[in-house]
Structures are given as structure tokens and as C-alpha cells.
């Protein structure tokens, strides 16, 4: 059976409301890697369990900032727009998917949602809140090209996929701050900004701060993130079948 990959749609703002949408890049990257995407609309978090029952793995995508009151902070002026209902659904999906042993992949906002879902915090605005001189993490060039390096931790799962010093694109002002439970940092930029996290003792979870879906057609090492994800989903499906 083709593995099914659940993901909550991204959201855009209309004049008086939000609207779910999905660009084709992540879906196409997952299909190329051998998975079948299933898009969930933003919904009350009570639907998380039913949504999860429809998919073998979960991807958490780019999108708006995470509502800081969900990790016990009040919003600072530099915070972008937030959408609490989407946050609550995705935080619940993170917790349930992780507890259920499903393979998880995070992209950009996804790394933040995963970290907060597992008890961590994020910088609402890394450039103004970091006590270091920061890199340009909001590149002016299109996301189809790379702009800064990341240092990947030796022995990490990410190192097996991308090597120890890949270039990535960058389109974020939030960043992971305090780590959630059972997570480890496996890549940082030169300014110490967290660029990738993984589950502590398994390959169940990998999340990156950049946008590989904008790079996978031209850069094999970014395409490899999607292949790895679908393979992690398949491996866990076999493990479940074997029980
Ligand atoms: Mn970056």
C-alpha cells in the first residue's frame, strides 16, 4: 500500500477571515518520494484523532507564526500573524502522532509547531531576541535557491541524509528556543540558530527550519529529505504490521 502522508493546509488571510490553501510543491515532493498526500482543513482540535487515523505519517508545513500564549508568553511587537485554531489542531496532531509512533517531518513553521507540541518554546522574533549577531534568515532571493550553510551534528540522522555542511534556503524570523521533550538539535546556523531537530533515540521525527520543497527539484540532498521521510513512514508501517 502506498503510504499516506497527512498535512494540515497552510492558511492565508482574506479581508475578514482565514482561508485554507495548499501549494503543490510539498505534495509533489511527497508523491515523487512514493507517498500519497492527504490535506486536512483547519478544524477544531477534537478532530485530530480522526484525521490521524487516515494517515500513516504526518508532515507539518510552513505557515503563520505560532501563538505565543500557547507556550506561556505574551506577543511582542515583532510577532507576525497567528491563527490559534490551526495551532491547536497541529499541536494536538503532533502529540498524538508522536505518541502513536508515526513518522513525522517538519518544514519551517513545522519545526516550531513540533517543538511547542512536545513542550518547547520558540523565539517570537529571533533577530531581535537573540543575544548574538544574527545571519540573514529571511533571504531576499527566491526560495528556489540556497542562501546559508548549516552545521549538522556528527552521527545524526540528518548527517546521513545531507552530509555535515549543506546549504539551505531561509525564510523565517521565529526559531526554536527551549527544546521540547525527547528532542535533540541536529543542525545549527553559524549564529547558533536551530535549523534541525530530531527525536532523541530514534529516526521517528525530523524537522528542518528551511523549505526543502522549494529546492528538491534542483538539489538532490533536499530531495533526499522527502525520500527519507517516506522511507521512515514505510518502515514504521512494517513494524506495526509485524506486531
Ligand atoms: Mn535559517
Using the mean position of ligand 1's atoms as its centre, give its distance from the Cα of residue 171 in Å: 7
Residue 242 is predicted with a pLDDT of 65
Using the mean position of ligand 1's atoms as its centre, give its distance from the Cα of residue 192 in Å: 10
The Cα 238–Cα 57 span in angstroms is: 13
Residue 220 is predicted with a pLDDT of 98
Residue 1 is predicted with a pLDDT of 86
**Active-site positions?**
108, 211, 213
Determine the 3-state secondary structure of 135 from DSSP. Answer: coil
SS3 readout for 86-129: HHHHHHHHHHHHHHCCCEEEEECHHHHHHHHHCCCCEECCHHHH
Using the mean position of ligand 1's atoms as its centre, give its distance from the Cα of residue 172 in Å: 7
Determine whether 170 is exposed, middle or buried from the number of CB atoms within 10 Å of its CB (0-12, 13-18, 19+).
Answer: buried
Residue 238 is predicted with a pLDDT of 82
Using the mean position of ligand 1's atoms as its centre, give its distance from the Cα of residue 237 in Å: 32
Using the mean position of ligand 1's atoms as its centre, give its distance from the Cα of residue 173 in Å: 8
Using the mean position of ligand 1's atoms as its centre, give its distance from the Cα of residue 124 in Å: 14
Instruction: Give the predicted TM-score (pTM) of the model.
Output: 0.96
Report residue 182 as a C-alpha cell: 525527547
Residue 19 parent element (H or E): strand 18-21
Using the mean position of ligand 1's atoms as its centre, give its distance from the Cα of residue 159 in Å: 17
Who surrounds ion ligand 1 at CB < 5 A?
A: 137, 170
Q: How many CB atoms lie within 10 A of CB 192?
A: 16
Residue 22 is predicted with a pLDDT of 87
Q: Show pLDDT as tens, one digit a residue, over the chain (243 residues).
A: 899 999 999 999 888 889 998 889 999 999 999 999 999 999 999 999 999 999 999 999 999 999 999 999 999 999 999 999 999 999 999 999 999 999 999 999 999 999 999 999 999 999 999 999 999 999 999 999 999 999 999 999 999 999 999 999 999 999 999 999 999 999 999 999 999 999 999 999 999 999 999 999 999 999 999 999 999 999 998 876 665
Residue 239 is predicted with a pLDDT of 76
Amino acid at each position: 500500500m502506498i503510504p499516506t502522508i497527512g498535512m494540515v493546509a497552510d492558511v492565508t488571510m482574506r479581508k475578514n477571515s482565514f482561508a485554507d490553501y495548499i501549494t503543490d510543491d510539498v505534495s509533489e515532493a511527497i508523491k515523487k518520494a512514493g507517498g500519497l498526500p492527504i490535506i486536512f482543513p483547519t478544524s477544531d482540535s477534537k478532530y485530530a484523532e480522526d484525521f490521524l487515523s487516515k494517515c500513516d505519517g504526518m508532515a507539518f508545513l510552513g505557515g503563520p507564526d505560532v501563538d505565543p500564549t500557547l507556550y506561556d508568553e505574551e506577543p511582542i511587537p515583532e510577532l507576525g500573524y497567528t491563527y490559534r485554531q490551526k495551532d491547536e489542531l497541529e499541536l494536538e496532531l503532533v502529540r498524538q502522532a508522536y505518541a502513536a509512533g508515526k513518522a513525522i517531518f517538519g518544514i519551517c513553521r513545522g519545526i516550531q509547531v513540533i517543538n511547542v507540541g512536545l513542550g518547547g518554546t520558540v523565539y517570537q522574533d529571533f533577530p531581535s531576541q537573540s543575544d548574538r549577531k544574527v545571519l540573514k534568515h529571511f533571504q531576499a532571493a527566491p526560495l528556489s535557491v540556497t542562501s546559508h550553510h548549516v552545521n549538522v551534528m556528527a552521527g545524526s540522522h540528518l548527517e546521513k541524509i545531507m552530509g555535515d555542511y549543506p546549504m539551505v534556503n531561509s525564510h523565517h524570523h521565529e526559531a526554536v528556543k527551549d527544546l521540547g521533550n525527547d528532542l535533540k538539535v541536529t543542525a545549527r546556523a553559524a549564529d547558533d540558530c536551530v535549523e534541525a531537530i530530531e527525536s532523541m533515540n530514534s529516526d521517528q521525527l525530523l524537522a528542518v527550519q528551511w523549505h526543502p520543497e522549494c529546492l528538491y527539484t534542483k538539489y538532490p540532498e533536499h530531495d533526499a529529505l522527502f525520500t527519507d521521510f517516506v522511507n521512515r513512514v514505510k518502515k514504521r508501517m512494517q513494524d506495526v504490521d509485524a506486531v
